[in-house]
Amino acid sequence: MAMTLGEKVAHLKGLSEGLGLDENETHGRLISAIIAVLEEAASTVKSLENRVDELTEQLDSVDEDLDGLEEYVYEELSGEDWDIDDEENEVEVQCPACGETFSVDEEILDEGEMHCPACNELLEFEVSCDCGHNDNEE
């Protein structure tokens, strides 16, 4: 396994110490300053790597949650409940003048009247109560 950046910097530091560089001499000062910068860079890289690992783990878990949510939503939308719900708002009406049968939205029925789309006859509807009971056609 390859050495990490931190290990390489530690190795360089060990080498420079082995040379017995004088910190009061220009080359010694320069080298120890370079190594200090390398140590800081290595530590920054290390914490960034840890953060990336953390974020990758979180992203994986979000990805899994999203898969579950997608499955749930698609099942709900393609299920029978969806179709029935859609049809509930439409009522089949037959025009007494021309016999044409067509679907009318409940909201239009609530308004009480509309024109037949086939013959333009004015059709009047009995406005039923909000509870939906409309068994008795008087």
**Binding residues for Zn ion (CB under 5 A):** 95, 97-98, 100, 116, 118-119, 121
Minimal distance in Å, beta carbon 130 to Zn ion?
Answer: 28
Q: Which is nearer to Zn ion, 9 or 116 (CB)?
A: 116
Query: Closest approach of Cβ 95 to Zn ion, in Å?
Result: 3
| DSSP string over 32-63 | HHHHHHHHHHHHHHHHHHHHHHHHHHHHHHHH
What does the chain come to in residues? Answer: 138
Half-sphere exposure of 58 (CA within 13 A, CB side): 6
Closest CB to Zn ion among residues 53, 121: 121
Are 27 and 64 contacting, i.e. CB atoms less than 8 angstroms apart?
A: no
Compute the least distance from the CB of residue 70 to Zn ion, in Å: 46
| Cβ closest to Zn ion, residue 57 vs residue 121 | 121
At 93 the three-state DSSP class reads: strand
Whose tokens are 């308004």? That residue is 111
Report, in Å, the least distance between residue 124 CB and Zn ion: 13
Question: Would you say 56 or 120 has its CB closer to Zn ion?
Answer: 120
